[in-house]
Amino acid sequence: MIKNWLSRYNLRYPRFLVYMLQASEYNIRDYLVWYHKTKNFTRVEQRKRFVRTAKGLLLLVIAWAFLFFLIGTAISILWINTSSLKYIFPFLIVLFSPYFLAYGIIIPLLVIRIIIQWPVEYLIISKAKQKLKTHTAVKIGIAGSFGKTTMREILKTVLSEGKKVAAPPHSYNTLLGISQFVKTLKGDEEILVFELGEYYPGDVQKLCDLVQPNMGVITGVNEAHLQKFKSLERTVKTIYELADYLGEKPIYVNGENELARKNARSGHIMYDCGHVGDWKIENPKTDLTGTSFTLTKNGAKLELKSALLGLHQIGPLAASAEIALNLGLSFDQVRDGISKTIPFDHRLEPKTDTTGVITLDDSYNGNPDGVKAVIAFLASLKDCRRFYVTPGLVEMGLRTEKIHKQIGKQLAEANIEKVILIKNSVTSHIEQGLKEKGYKGEVIWFDDALAAFAALPLLTVKGDVMLLQNDWPDQYQ
């Protein structure tokens, strides 16, 4: 207890505060929530590190200047005051200085935001909106609680076989991120593919106003970011702002996801592992080498093979194939494009180490539908010992316990041999779900993810398959 309290007087404390702001994307509400629940500040900067951006460095300089001001004030009072109570105020200033600093750093952040950041961002976004307004490319918007980046990358890969395609890199799915990307466009692109990020109601509508899509994809709706949305109804409404914007224009909806399917409207094109639009999907197969299936319609047949893993990828792959055909690509171009789709970074990405252990890196997958899909894929693998490693999911709100118990039950039903859990506020629910389903494998606990990763090479042998599911950022530790 005393050690945790004293961590606020660590010399790196100002850096920890700025890092917390940075990792919270300078969202004051998220920063304060993180700050209030943090006990030991020496454990704040663990998973990632402070990035030396101009904004971050400026705030760090201000934090140190404010800290020196507080110390200087305390010394001045001691120097000037001659009363018998002269030690009380300096003591209180030093005692509460960590809290003065933690809350005081918000003031310069607000000043920077109002005077510099907002005007600059407004200009950048306005220029991007005008540029997109006159751009002749087909603009595809992708919204959903999960699977947006995967769908974006599949579409970009497939459509590039016959068209000049551009899409923002990484997770550039905000107003500013997309606007920065738009500055790089040359103007001769034929198709633009945008991932529309959502964290609060109205986000997708704002992004539609910027991107001005004339085609859309809704990948699904679930509890991802439920902590921010508060209810699934608000999540559905926000994601379907894309459908509201598009109106009668083409929009593809993931029929495998219950909430997306239930909220689909007349004219929406449904896709799942059995069909996409009028195309039927036959002979679906998946293993560690990839996924294959056949599209058939009115005697036409298109056999497709992708390096992506899991039957849950068939729906997005098939939807991308149909979109490509509708935009004028040939069968051969679609076939070649699908064959070039490969696992994306940290999304069921297979890696084999020198000892012959296969790791499936799914650390960027933090939603219930994704978890269910990868457990099903892991269950389909035979003649190997399977490990499932997870710290659980974040931002599940009031459904946290139910969702994590369900994960435990899914793991038990899949007969996964080893379940490795990282101790935190949610993984005990996974253990409870395992027990309720009579799990007969082994549960191994670790205090943190770094300790687990260090121990895994000692627990695995050649031929083992190890799935790394999700990764908790520092603010959720």
Give the tens place of pLDDT for each residue, 201-242: 999 999 999 999 999 999 999 887 777 778 889 999 999 999
pLDDT at 170: 85
Say if residue 1's pLDDT is above 50. Answer: yes
Q: Which residues contact 259 (CB under 8 A, 6 or more apart)?
A: 220, 221, 222, 232, 235, 236
- Pick from 222, 314, 230, 226: which is nearest to 263 by CA? 222
- Given a cut of 70, whether residue 474 has pLDDT beyond it is no
- 6 or 435, which is more confident: 435
> What does the block give as tokens for 65?
């200047």
pLDDT at 167 over 80: yes
What is the arrangement of strands in the sheet containing 290-297, beginning at the earlier edge strand?
165-166, 191-195, 138-143, 215-218, 251-254, 269-271, 275-276, 279-287, 290-297, 300-306
Tell me the sheet residues that pair with 267.
Answer: none
**pLDDT-derived band at 258, boundaries 50, 70, 90:** very high
Confidence of residue 319 (pLDDT cuts 50, 70, 90): very high
Q: What is the mean pLDDT of residues 456-470?
A: 92
DSSP 231: S
State the sign of the Cα–Cα–Cα–Cα dihedral 335, 337, 342, 345. negative
Q: How far apart are CA 158 and CA 163, in angstroms?
A: 9
Mean pLDDT of the chain: 92
Structure tokens at 151: 């769908």
pLDDT for position 338: 98
Q: How far is CA 231 from the centre of its chain?
A: 19
Q: How confident is the model at residue 472 (pLDDT cuts 50, 70, 90)?
A: low
Query: What are the beta bridge partners of residue 215?
Result: 140
pLDDT in tens, 107-157: 999 999 999 889 999 999 999 999 999 999 999 999 999 999 999 999 999
pLDDT score recorded for residue 394: 81
pLDDT at 325 over 60: yes
Arithmetic mean of pLDDT, 457-468 = 93
pTM of the model: 0.87
Give the burial class of 169: count Cβ atoms within 10 A of its Cβ; 0-12 exposed, 13-18 middle, 19 or more buried. Answer: exposed
- Average of per-residue pLDDT across 14-20: 93
Predicted local confidence at residue 407, as pLDDT:
94
377 Cβ contact list (under 8 Å, min separation 6): 286, 309, 310, 311, 312, 348
CA distance 151 to 168: 13
Task: Name the pLDDT band for 476 (thresholds 50, 70, 90).
Answer: very low
pLDDT at 174 over 90: yes
Burial class, 1, CB count within 10 angstroms (exposed 0-12 / middle 13-18 / buried 19+): exposed
The whole-number pLDDT of residue 477 equals: 53
Residue 395 has pLDDT above 80, yes or no: no
Does pLDDT of 430 surpass 90? Answer: yes
Instruction: Please state, as a whole number, how many other Cβ atoms lie within 10 Å of the Cβ of residue 102.
Output: 22
> Band of the pLDDT at 2, cuts 50, 70, 90?
confident
pLDDT grade for 473, boundaries at 50, 70 and 90? low
* Residue % of the chain over a pLDDT of 90: 73
Residue 43: which pLDDT band, with cuts at 50, 70 and 90? confident
Handedness of CA 173, 174, 180, 184 (dihedral sign): positive
Residue 413: predicted pLDDT: 96
DSSP 2: H
What residues does each domain of the chain span? 2-104, 136-339, 349-476
Query: Count of CB atoms within 10 A of residue 202's CB?
Result: 11
Q: What CATH number is given for 136-339 in this structure?
A: 3.40.1190.10
Q: Two tokens at 454?
A: 């260090």
Nearest to 173 by CA among 115, 219, 236: 219
pLDDT grade, residue 84 (50/70/90)? Answer: low
pLDDT digits (tens, 9 = 90+) for 431-451: 999 999 999 999 999 988 888
Q: What is the pLDDT at residue 420? A: 95
Query: Could you confirm whether domain 349-476 is CATH 3.40.50.10490?
Result: no
Which two structure tokens, joined as six digits, stand for 430? 């996974």
Confidence band for 300, pLDDT divided at 50, 70 and 90: very high
Query: How far is residue 433's CA from residue 112's CA, in Å, rounded to a whole number?
Result: 47
Are the beta carbons of 348 and 377 closer than 8 angstroms? yes
Is residue 94 packed enough to be buried (19+ CB in 10 Å), middle (13-18) or exposed (0-12)? Answer: middle
Alpha carbon distance 170, 379 (integer Å): 30
- Of residues 198 and 473, more confidently modeled: 198
Q: Beta strand pairing status for 215-218 and 138-143?
A: parallel
pLDDT above 60: residue 297: yes
CA distance linking residue 438 with residue 409, whole number of Å:
9
The DSSP secondary-structure symbol of 286 reads E
Average of pLDDT values for 180-198? 96
Task: Provide DSSP, 166-226.
Answer: E---TT--SHHHHHHHHTT--S--SEEEEE---SSTTHHHHHHHHH--SEEEE----STTH
Helix (H, G, I), strand (E, B) or coil at 334: helix
